[in-house]
């Protein structure tokens, strides 16, 4: 029974209502509560409300997408996700948000068709009647626009008495009820749009006026100004109410992935194998899976796929194919309805000979009703509508119509009909248009038939396509998709004989595909209508255009695709491609013109990569406008290796002042300079969402570093900052150090390939002694000598948060290594962050080099790996600074055997370090023996990298002996260590007693081909789970 309907069922006992207000003893209120509870009897949806209906999203207004696009387009474009928003519980929906605010008078709850707006209202009314929510309201009056549509004129008092007759003739004002909530459910079903500009004011509650004028005056406060009003609506129609009149707007979110699974399990409670199969089918197609976030669509898809799993198709009883388009899915739903699967239990299934006749009759009458309702934005029908379009009321009792139409009683004792979901009305309308257009001689969109003659299916299809392209609200988008889909071979095979003629699609399909592509005109921006044409081609199973652009994206050949068709296909892929869902990679020579045409679609890309496109400052103005948009969902954007100067950086900075979605911005390898860095820094003082910023290789120098330091003094959200290769000296390091003494939010600071020297290292060391937030510090290639290392190691003795420290390619000798060893004996928290997969491969001629400066944009993610990177040999006198040094000539740290022995001694006591990198550190056999002794007792080290040293046979023996007893080491790199075949055999043989080692590198040790085979066989026998590189 519809809780919002005026008819209440007679219960055997009056339900007990809860004590709620000073007026709870009023017999009128008790009667209202009892009536509402009686109507709720037997409604399973009210027994345990879903969490998504008890916790709504608090939004600040409607976006352009919600105002202008079809519900399906909204779900597809946003990929079923929602803007980050505050959650408001149902029991606080009409309460003040703070102590100084007042309760809302006009509240609107929006949601796409089928998301559960009416169910939400029913839940609220039921809970209010039980005294669980809305305790401030002495009376709740639920009304639907389906009820209001039955009246031409109505007074405010008669409106209230229609749902609450206990007020008497004196009206609501005389009832003296202090707090009343009036619910108006389904504004999108109102037969006349609300017009707040031209409606005459009315303050007389007894005066009868047009219903739309009545609602307008109630919302304005001309009538019942003390009454709270709650309106529910689809997003596009909610825009009829001026934003200035709305005190609170909420949104119902769709299903999560877990809720989709639960919904399907509830549909097939006795067959979990079937529900699992249905779930796999919808997950196999991303577009359909996204639409399953809408509960009504999820149930429809579940019904169709459940029927499919029990069906066989074709005379050979072939295995049924699973739908991959909307039209294929709805065709299976239609087949289910024909077979009687959707009818009530106990009714006989229709005979086969009745199927074709019933379906054609339904399409001819009900389809015509659906089509003209769609054209006129009419979604609720009454008996007079059915008679006007020749719908046989007896036909509505059939199982076929029962799967498409829902019948409800209204307060005026009349019957209202609506399609069980908007998309079903669009499907039946498309089926009618498809059938009628083959014999119609006038434009079917002109109801009276007065138009220029139009002959032939293709002429009518062109008319439908043109109308859909011209509809600014997209209301014909899905209709056109279904119309296109009815021409696909699979749909024709499925519906042949019942709805379509066998093989008739073959004469139209190629011409329709050409016609659709001809609709893609050269415009400045690719609009949603153009993207919908690609959806139509997909429904038609004409995917050549989309596939060619997808291949160009994968191969980096987007530069040559500039036609309107290619741009529309690219915009389409940004919506539906699985790869673009993870990251929209538009790198490599994308032109400004193509980017400009894609701006409306870029708004909804979560991760956007625009590297190496030669973009200049004007393009940043365009991107800044996107990032400033209220609809913007971009979370990560990479603009690396372009030609952005300080002007472009300023444009991006202006957008950061208002953007609330971006969390990662990568500007490496541009030319923003100190001024650009200052503009971004000023924005960071206000921005509260950006967590990752890379300014690598931007020549920001000391002035830019100073600006960023000032920003960090105020910013509390930035956690990762990359400033490598920026010609920053000791002064810039000093400024950053001063900020680090106070900042606790920055977790990762990359300062590598600058020239901060010992002075800058000393300043950072002082900061580390008091800093309580920084976890990763990269000082690679910074002209730091033993003095700077000593200062840093002294700080490590006091610091309790740093887990990563990179000192590669500096001027550290064995003395510095001894300082490190002393620190390791005291420090118990150093755990260096490592992203092995993101490291570039060793350069030719530099086998020991490990680049660690190229990092992908993204938030700071802790890793279990722990490292120390001493690096390469000692820098000689007169070598250049980091800023002058060539990338292929990194400085070297020669800690030698003495330094290695000091580190080894520290390893015996240290219980935190898990990864130690001592590549190209001039370590010989003595140092290796010391490290072997440490490994024999150490229980935490997991990675040891000794590549590029010269430990020789003796060192190999020492490490082999350690491997026999060590159980923690997982990766060992002995690349280029002069082991020879004998040394490699020692190591390989030792693995017979070690079951923890997973990877070993023995490359570059002059083992020889025969030796490599022998060692490989030995390791395969002794340690089959260990991977060896030779």
Helix/strand/coil (H, E, C) string of 343-412? CCCCCCCCCHHHHHHHHHHHHHHHHHHHHHHHHCCCCCEEHHHHHHCCCCHHHHHCHHHHCCEEEEECCC
3-state secondary structure 458-506: HHHHHHHHHHHHHCCCCCCHHHHHHHHHCCCHHHHHHHECCCECCCHHH
Helix or strand or coil: residue 57?
strand
Per-residue model confidence as pLDDT tens digits over 424-455: 999 999 999 999 988 888 888 886 656 566 67
Strand partners, 692: 664, 720
In this prediction, residue 856 carries a pLDDT of 41
Segment 207-216 shows an average pLDDT of 96
Per-residue model confidence as pLDDT tens digits over 10-19: 333 333 444 4
Tally of CB atoms within 10 A around 573: 21
Q: Is residue 493 part of a domain?
A: yes
Angle between helices 564-576 and 592-602 (to 10 degrees): 40
Give the strand pairing for 415-419 and 405-409.
antiparallel
Top mean pLDDT of 236-245, 301-310, 380-389 is at 236-245
Q: Is residue 44 part of a domain?
A: yes
Residue 269 has pLDDT above 80, yes or no: yes
In this prediction, residue 962 carries a pLDDT of 93
Q: In this structure, are 408 and 528 located in the same domain? A: no
Q: pLDDT tier at 253 (50, 70, 90 boundaries)?
A: very high
Q: Among candidates 255, 293, 253, 244, which has minimal Cα distance to 61?
A: 244
Helix or strand or coil: residue 934?
helix
In this prediction, residue 47 carries a pLDDT of 59
Rounded to two decimals, the pTM is 0.82
Q: In this structure, are 337 and 315 located in the same domain? A: no
Residue 380 has pLDDT above 60, yes or no: yes
Q: pLDDT tier at 839 (50, 70, 90 boundaries)?
A: very low
In this prediction, residue 450 carries a pLDDT of 60
In this prediction, residue 45 carries a pLDDT of 60
Residue 6 has pLDDT above 50, yes or no: no
In this prediction, residue 346 carries a pLDDT of 42
Q: Among candidates 990, 988, 981, 939, which has minimal Cα distance to 961?
A: 990
Q: pLDDT tier at 978 (50, 70, 90 boundaries)?
A: very high
Q: Is residue 832 part of a domain?
A: no
Q: For residues 818 and 901, give the distance between their C-alpha atoms in angstroms, rounded to a whole number.
A: 9
Per-residue model confidence as pLDDT tens digits over 220-243: 999 999 999 999 999 999 999 999
Q: Is residue 634 part of a domain?
A: no
Segment 569-588 shows an average pLDDT of 87
Q: Is residue 1026 part of a domain?
A: no
In this prediction, residue 23 carries a pLDDT of 47
Q: In this structure, are 293 and 397 located in the same domain? A: no
Per-residue model confidence as pLDDT tens digits over 274-290: 999 999 999 988 889 99
CATH of residue 126's domain is: 3.40.50.300
Residue 339 has pLDDT above 80, yes or no: no
Segment 701-722 shows an average pLDDT of 97
Final residue belonging to a domain, choices 464, 485, 507: 507
pLDDT above 70 covers a percentage of the chain that reads 84
Q: In this structure, are 307 and 416 located in the same domain? A: no
Segment 750-757 shows an average pLDDT of 96
Q: In this structure, are 65 and 165 located in the same domain? A: yes
Q: Is residue 652 part of a domain?
A: no
Q: In this structure, are 312 and 414 located in the same domain? A: no
Q: For residues 386 and 396, give the distance between their C-alpha atoms in angstroms, rounded to a whole number.
A: 10
In this prediction, residue 858 carries a pLDDT of 42
Q: Which residue has the higher pLDDT, 447 or 650?
A: 650
Q: In this structure, are 356 and 424 located in the same domain? A: yes
Segment 47-67 shows an average pLDDT of 86
Helix (H) or strand (E) holding 532: helix 528-539
Per-residue model confidence as pLDDT tens digits over 915-931: 888 888 899 999 999 99
Backbone angles phi, psi at 561, to 5 degrees: -100, 95
Q: pLDDT tier at 244 (50, 70, 90 boundaries)?
A: very high
**Dihedral, CA of residue 327, residue 332, residue 337 and residue 338, to nearest 10:** 100
Q: In this structure, are 232 and 265 located in the same domain? A: no
Q: pLDDT tier at 309 (50, 70, 90 boundaries)?
A: confident
Segment 484-494 shows an average pLDDT of 92
Q: In this structure, are 497 and 480 located in the same domain? A: yes
Residue 83 has pLDDT above 80, yes or no: no
Domain range for 134: 27-254
Q: In this structure, are 315 and 330 located in the same domain? A: no
In this prediction, residue 338 carries a pLDDT of 79
In this prediction, residue 363 carries a pLDDT of 76
Per-residue model confidence as pLDDT tens digits over 135-166: 999 889 999 999 999 899 999 988 888 877 76
Give the list of residues 6+ apart from residue 125 with CB closer than 8 angstroms, or none: 3, 4, 36, 40, 140, 142, 183
Residue 912 has pLDDT above 90, yes or no: no
Rounded to the nearest angstrom, the gap between the alpha carbon of residue 527 and the centroid of all alpha carbons in its chain is 21
In this prediction, residue 956 carries a pLDDT of 95
Q: For residues 437 and 649, give the distance between their C-alpha atoms in angstroms, rounded to a whole number.
A: 56
Q: pLDDT tier at 82 (50, 70, 90 boundaries)?
A: confident
Q: pLDDT tier at 834 (50, 70, 90 boundaries)?
A: very low
Q: Which residue has the higher pLDDT, 885 or 321?
A: 321
Q: In this structure, are 451 and 472 located in the same domain? A: yes
In this prediction, residue 11 carries a pLDDT of 34
Residue 706 has pLDDT above 80, yes or no: yes
In this prediction, residue 426 carries a pLDDT of 97
In this prediction, residue 882 carries a pLDDT of 34
Tally of CB atoms within 10 A around 306: 21
Q: Which residue has the higher pLDDT, 881 or 91?
A: 91
Q: pLDDT tier at 892 (50, 70, 90 boundaries)?
A: low
Q: Whole-number mean pLDDT of the chain?
A: 84
In this prediction, residue 40 carries a pLDDT of 58
Note every long-range contact of 402-405, with CB atoms under 8 Å and residues 24 or more positions apart, other chains counting. Answer: 402/337, 402/342, 402/343, 402/344, 403/333, 403/336, 403/337, 403/342, 403/343, 404/337, 404/362, 404/366, 404/428, 405/366
Final residue belonging to a domain, choices 534, 558, 584: 584
Domain count, the chain: 4
Q: In this structure, are 151 and 234 located in the same domain? A: yes
In this prediction, residue 1 carries a pLDDT of 32
Q: pLDDT tier at 835 (50, 70, 90 boundaries)?
A: very low
Segment 731-760 shows an average pLDDT of 96
In this prediction, residue 630 carries a pLDDT of 84
Helices (H) and strands (E) in the chain, counts: 40, 26
Q: For residues 1005 and 1018, give the distance between their C-alpha atoms in angstroms, rounded to a whole number.
A: 17
Q: For residues 229 and 295, give the distance between their C-alpha atoms in angstroms, rounded to a whole number.
A: 26
Segment 683-712 shows an average pLDDT of 97
Rounded to the nearest angstrom, the gap between the alpha carbon of residue 380 and the centroid of all alpha carbons in its chain is 34
Final residue belonging to a domain, choices 324, 359, 377: 324
Q: For residues 766 and 392, give the distance between their C-alpha atoms in angstroms, rounded to a whole number.
A: 87
Q: Is residue 55 part of a domain?
A: yes
On the 0-12 / 13-18 / 19+ scale of CB atoms within 10 A, 88 is middle
Top mean pLDDT of 72-86, 460-474, 503-517 is at 460-474
Residue 106 has pLDDT above 80, yes or no: yes
The DSSP line for 758-775 is HHHHHHHHHHHHH-SS--
Q: For residues 220 and 225, give the distance between their C-alpha atoms in angstroms, rounded to a whole number.
A: 8
Q: Is residue 490 part of a domain?
A: yes
């Amino acid at each position: 029974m519809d809780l919002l309907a005026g008819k209440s069922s007679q219960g055997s006992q009056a339900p007990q209502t809860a004590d709620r207000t000073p007026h709870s003893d009023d017999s009128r209120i008790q009667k209202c509560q009892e009536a509402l509870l009686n109507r709720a009897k037997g409604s399973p949806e009210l027994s345990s409300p879903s969490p998504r209906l008890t916790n709504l999203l608090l939004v600040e207004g409607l976006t352009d997408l919600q105002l202008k696009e079809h519900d399906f387009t909204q779900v597809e474009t946003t990929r079923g996700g929602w803007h980050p928003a505050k959650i408001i519980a149902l029991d606080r929906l009409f309460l003040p948000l703070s102590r100084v605010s007042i309760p809302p008078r006009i509240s609107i709850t929006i949601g796409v068709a089928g998301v559960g707006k009416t169910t939400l209202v029913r839940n609220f009314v039921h809970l209010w009647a039980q005294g669980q929510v809305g305790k401030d309201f002495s009376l709740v009056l639920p009304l639907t626009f389906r009820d209001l549509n039955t009246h031409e004129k109505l007074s405010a008092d008669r409106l209230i008495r229609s749902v609450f007759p206990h007020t008497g003739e004196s009206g609501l004002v005389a009832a003296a009820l202090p707090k009343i909530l009036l619910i108006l459910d389904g504004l999108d079903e109102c037969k006349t749009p609300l017009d707040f500009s031209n409606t005459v004011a009315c303050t007389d509650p007894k005066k009868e006026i047009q219903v739309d004028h009545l609602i307008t005056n109630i919302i304005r406060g001309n009538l019942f100004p003390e009454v709270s009003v709650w309106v529910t609506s689809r997003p596009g129609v909610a825009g009829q109410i001026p934003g200035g009149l709305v005190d609170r707007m909420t949104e119902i979110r769709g299903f999560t992935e877990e809720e989709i699974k639960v919904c399907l399990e509830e549909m097939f409670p006795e067959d979990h194998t079937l529900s699992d199969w249905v779930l796999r089918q919808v997950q196999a197609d991303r577009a359909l899976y996204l639409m399953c976030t809408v509960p009504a669509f999820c149930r429809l898809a579940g019904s169709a796929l459940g029927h499919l799993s029990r069906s066989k198709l074709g005379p050979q009883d072939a295995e049924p194919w699973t739908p991959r388009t909307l039209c294929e899915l709805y065709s299976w739903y239609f087949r289910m309805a024909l077979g009687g699967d959707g009818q009530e239990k106990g009714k006989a299934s229709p005979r086969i000979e009745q199927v074709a006749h019933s379906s054609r009759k339904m399409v001819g009458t009900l389809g015509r009703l659906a089509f003209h309702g769609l054209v006129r934005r009419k979604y609720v029908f009454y008996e007079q509508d059915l008679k006007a379009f020749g719908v046989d009321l007896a036909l509505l009792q059939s199982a076929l119509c029962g799967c498409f139409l829902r019948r409800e009683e209204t307060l005026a004792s009349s019957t209202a009909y609506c399609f069980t979901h908007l998309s079903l009305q669009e499907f039946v309308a498309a089926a009618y248009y498809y059938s009628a257009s083959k014999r119609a001689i006038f434009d079917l969109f002109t109801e009276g038939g007065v138009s220029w003659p139009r002959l032939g299916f293709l002429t009518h299809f062109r008319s439908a396509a043109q109308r859909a392209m011209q509809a600014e609200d997209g209301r014909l988008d899905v209709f056109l998709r279904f119309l296109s889909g009815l021409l696909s071979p699979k749909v024709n095979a499925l519906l042949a004989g019942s709805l379509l003629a066998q093989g008739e699609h073959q004469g139209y399909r190629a011409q329709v595909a050409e016609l659709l592509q001809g609709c893609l005109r050269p415009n400045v921006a690719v609009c949603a209508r153009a993207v919908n044409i690609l959806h139509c081609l997909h429904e038609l199973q004409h995917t050549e255009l989309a596939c060619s652009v997808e291949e160009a994206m994968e191969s980096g050949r987007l530069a040559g695709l500039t036609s309107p068709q290619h741009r529309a296909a690219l915009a389409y892929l940004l919506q539906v491609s699985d790869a673009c869902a993870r990251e929209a990679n538009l790198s490599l020579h994308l032109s400004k013109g193509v980017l400009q045409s894609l701006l409306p679609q870029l708004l909804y890309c979560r991760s956007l990569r625009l590297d190496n496109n030669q973009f200049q400052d004007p393009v940043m103005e365009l991107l800044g406008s996107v990032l400033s948009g209220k609809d913007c969902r971009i979370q990560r954007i990479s603009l690396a290796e372009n030609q952005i100067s300080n002007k472009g950086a300023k444009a991006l900075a202006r957008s950061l002042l208002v953007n609330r979605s971006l969390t990662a911005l990568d500007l490496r390898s541009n030319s923003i300079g100190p001024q650009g860095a200052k503009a971004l820094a000023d924005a960071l003082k206000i921005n509260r969402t950006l967590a990752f910023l890379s300014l690598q290789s931007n020549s920001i120098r000391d002035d830019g570093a100073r600006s960023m330091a000032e920003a960090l003094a105020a910013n509390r959200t930035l956690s990762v900052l990359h400033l490598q290769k920026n010609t920053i000296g000791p002064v810039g390091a000093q400024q950053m150090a001063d900020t680090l003494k106070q900042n606790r939010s920055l977790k990762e600071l990359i300062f590598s390939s600058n020239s901060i020297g010992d002075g800058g290292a000393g300043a950072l060391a002082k900061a580390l002694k008091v800093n309580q937030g920084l976890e990763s510090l990269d000082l690679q290639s910074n002209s730091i000598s033993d003095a700077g290392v000593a200062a840093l190691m002294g700080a490590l003795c006091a610091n309790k948060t740093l887990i990563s420290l990179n000192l590669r390619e500096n001027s550290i000798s064995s003395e510095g290594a001894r300082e490190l060893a002393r620190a390791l004996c005291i420090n118990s928290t150093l755990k260096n962050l490592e992203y092995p997969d993101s490291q570039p491969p060793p350069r030719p001629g530099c086998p020991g080099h490990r680049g660690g400066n190229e990092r992908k944009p993204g938030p700071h993610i802790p890793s279990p790996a722990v490292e120390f990177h001493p690096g390469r040999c000692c820098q000689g006198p007169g070598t250049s600074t980091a800023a002058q040094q060539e990338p292929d000539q990194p400085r070297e740290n020669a800690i030698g055997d003495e330094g290695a022995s000091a580190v080894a001694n520290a390893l015996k006591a240290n219980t935190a370090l898990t990864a130690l990198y001592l590549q190209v550190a001039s370590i010989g056999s003595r140092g290796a023996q010391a490290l072997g002794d440490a490994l024999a007792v150490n229980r935490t080290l997991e990675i040891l990298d000794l590549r590029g040293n010269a430990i020789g046979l003796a060192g190999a023996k020492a490490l082999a002996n350690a491997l026999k007893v060590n159980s923690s080491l997982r990766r060992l790199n002995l690349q280029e260590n002069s082991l020879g075949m004998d040394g490699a055999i020692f190591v390989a043989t030792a693995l017979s007693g070690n079951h923890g080692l997973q990877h070993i590198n023995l490359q570059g040790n002059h083992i020889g081909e025969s030796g490599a085979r022998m060692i490989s066989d030995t390791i395969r026998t002794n340690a089959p789970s260990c991977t060896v590189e030779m």
